[in-house]
Amino acid sequence: MAGQTQGMMESPSVSSDMTDTLETLPFEIKNVIASRARMGLIALATDHIIEYELPRLIHPISGAQIYTTRVPMEPKVTPQTLHGMKASLTDAAKTLLPGVQFNVIGYGCTSASVIIGELEISQAIQLAHHETAITTPITACIAALKTLKATRIGLLTPYVEAVNQPIREYFKQNNITVVRSATFSEIDDNRAGMITPLSIKNAVLNVFSGLDLDLVFISCTSLRVAELIPELETTLGIPVTSSNHALAWHMLRLSGVLDSIPNQGTLFMS
């Protein structure tokens, strides 16, 4: 309107005392979840089961923690594809909490541990994590057999014969008699990871009941069987262990955790 002054919007005044600063806050650093055992795991790219079973096996131990990475692997399990993982082991190990010291690192493949060799696997991983204890399922199995004074075993695997034969030979070289062996003869690791616990239970009981054995070993980290071990031991009357079962036990022991864990089979009380 003529003769009327239009009001002007004014910005709110800012006190010269107010400045936009980022406050640095104090904090506490404390290793809680891995205070007793910081454990690394190199799992196969194709493994469906190991990350399911290992945490459950160590769960009763407060302050024990597993950190996992994966190594490339083809679904088809043959001596050639197993050996092919060797070239990727160091790079896989480098992705396990870089700059952090582990008590132990486990490599999660029983058959490749035999095909590649335990020493070669340890050397490849230790290029990334110096002076760290290394174990594998087959290393853990032999340690378990010695602990339980078992020399006559039953062996169940999912592998084809080209993979089974080196494993039987490995046991022979370590003065372990494989009294009887059986296999699901499945070459595809994705399918092996879906073999049902009931199928495994039935196989163990049908094949190994009544035999003169010290122990039954169920080989392959892809087989879901750890939860069945107490029941199988009760039925068979002898100790039973598996790749994941023995590996979890050995990783704890190499970390200095000597606690007995009830309801997880004879080995975890040893």
Residue 8 has pLDDT above 80, yes or no: no
In three-state form (DSSP H/G/I as H, E/B as E, the rest C), the secondary structure along 174-216 is: CCCEEEEEEECCCCEHHHHCCCCHHHHHHHHHHHHCCCCCCEE
Q: Binning pLDDT at 50, 70 and 90, where does residue 13 land? A: low
Q: Which CATH code for domain 37-269?
A: 3.40.50.12500
Q: Please give the share of the chain, as a percent, with pLDDT higher than 90.
A: 91
Residues of the chain with pLDDT > 70, as a percent, come to 93
One-letter amino acid for residue 159 of the chain: Y
How far is CA 124 from each of CA 11, 116, 129, 153, 160, rounded to the nearest angstrom? 66, 11, 9, 30, 27
Q: Is the dihedral of CA 60, 63, 64, 65 positive or negative?
A: positive
pLDDT tens for each residue of 88-147: 999 999 999 999 999 999 999 999 999 999 999 999 999 999 999 999 999 999 999 999
Measured torsion, CA atoms of residues 174, 261, 228, 113, in degrees rounded to the nearest 10: -30
Confidence of residue 1 (pLDDT cuts 50, 70, 90): very low
For position 4, what pLDDT does the model report?
Answer: 45
Q: What is the C-alpha to C-alpha distance for residues 97 and 58, in angstroms, rounded to an integer?
A: 20
- Model pTM? 0.91
- Measured distance CA(209)–CA(176) in Å, rounded: 19
pLDDT band at 18 (very low <50, low <70, confident <90, very high): low
Task: Tell me the two tokens of residue 95.
Answer: 């992705």
Helix, strand, coil percent content, the chain, rounded in steps of 5: 40, 15, 45
Sign of CA dihedral 240, 246, 248, 249: positive
* Averaged confidence pLDDT in the chain: 95
**Residue 16: per-residue pLDDT:** 53
Determine the average pLDDT of the residues in 230-249. 99
Please state which of the ranges 3-17, 176-190, 226-240 shows the lowest mean pLDDT. Answer: 3-17
